Amino acid sequence: MQEETHLIDMRQIHKRFVMGDTVVEALKGVSLSVDEGEFLGILGPSGSGKSTLMNVIGCMDTFQEGSYRLMGIPMETLEDDKLTIVRNRLIGFIFQRYHLIGKYTVLQNVMMPLLSRGMRYEEAAKIAAQKLSMLDMGKRLDHKPNELSGGQQQRAAIARALVGNPKLLLADEPTGALDTKTGKDVLKLFQELNAMGHTIVMITHDLSVAESAKRVVRIIDGELYAEEETN
């Protein structure tokens, strides 16, 4: 019998930071599997290891022990240039402070993942404009990020994350810089994207934010705990 392939399959991941004589065990044997179509919330207090875990899931950082397969591909043995390809092709990142590039227009920002794959400018512009229109940003294509509200900047960042059709949307405190109402709108958008089939992993310290996800796991002091179905 063939074993089912999870989108994310982490087993007993250990991540240590060594600073002089002190060793910080940021992840203490974390195991996690996420299947396509899930909307998972990872909930934990400050210092619990959320960003460390996000960096490992997002192939932005290495780990000392354990195994991590993304779509069945073992990450621990990939070279840096291959990891860059994995990041660009498989994962769309969404950050608390949007991380849009200030000197570029909204359209150009959203085109970036396509251009870095070698797509022609005109084609990338067309696809990026479609994605922005889908997210109600069609009238803001030529604006610079500082000419947008926080909610609009986050929608532009979500368009950028989606534009290359990644397998996974990875969000770190995506509502952390937004007011309550705008934050709720972003979470509703995530639920809609998930209903359309997008797999989402969202990291937060806020229970009311995590509850928008379909499943929640808790991280406390580098360890992952009991999973709850929320809705």
Ligand X SMILES: Nc1ncnc2c1ncn2[C@@H]1O[C@H](COP(=O)(O)OP(=O)(O)OP(=O)(O)O)[C@@H](O)[C@H]1O
Asked if 46 touches ligand X (CB under 6 A), the answer is yes
Query: Closest distance between ligand X and the C-beta of residue 130, in Å?
Result: 34
Q: How far is CA 161 from CA 44, 94, 143, 197, in A?
A: 24, 7, 18, 15
Residue type, 21: D
145 binds, among Mg ion, ligand X, none (CB under 5 to 8 A by kind): none
Say how many residues make up the chain.
231
Question: What is the spatial distance between Cα 172 and Cα 84, in angstroms, rounded to a whole number?
Answer: 19
Q: How many residues bind ligand X (CB under 6 A)?
A: 13
Q: Which residues, 22 to 41, sit near ligand X by CB under 6 A?
A: 24, 26
Dihedral sign computed on CA atoms, order 101, 183, 162, 32: positive
Q: Strand 168-172 and strand 199-204: pairing?
A: parallel
Asked if 14 touches ligand X (CB under 6 A), the answer is no
Asked if 175 touches ligand X (CB under 6 A), the answer is no
Question: Are 212 and 187 contacting, i.e. CB atoms less than 8 angstroms apart?
Answer: yes
62 binds, among ligand X, Mg ion, none (CB under 5 to 8 A by kind): none
Question: What is the spatial distance between Cα 127 and Cα 116, in angstroms, rounded to a whole number?
Answer: 14
Nearer to ligand X, 11 or 28 (CB): 28
Residue of the chain from 13, 32, 49, 100 that contacts ligand X (CB under 6 A): 49
Query: Applying CB under 6 A, which part among 5-13, 44-52, 122-130, 181-189 lies near ligand X?
Result: 44-52
Instruction: Please tell me whether residue 15 adopts helix, strand or coil conformation.
Output: strand
Nearer to Mg ion, 113 or 183 (CB): 183
Asked if 19 touches ligand X (CB under 6 A), the answer is yes
Query: Closest distance between ligand X and the C-beta of residue 48, in Å?
Result: 4
Q: Strand 22-34 and strand 8-19: pairing?
A: antiparallel
Q: How far is CA 163 from CA 34, 120, 123, 125, in A?
A: 22, 14, 12, 11
Nearer to Mg ion, 199 or 204 (CB): 204
Q: Which residues, 196 to 225, sit near ligand X by CB under 6 A?
A: 205
226 binds, among Mg ion, ligand X, none (CB under 5 to 8 A by kind): none
Query: Closest distance between ligand X and the C-beta of residue 15, in Å?
Result: 8
Nearer to Mg ion, 94 or 129 (CB): 94
Question: What is the spatial distance between Cα 9 and Cα 3, in angstroms, rounded to a whole number?
Answer: 12
Residues that bind ligand X (CB under 6 A): 17, 19, 24, 26, 44, 46-52, 205
Residues that bind Mg ion (CB under 5 A): 50-51
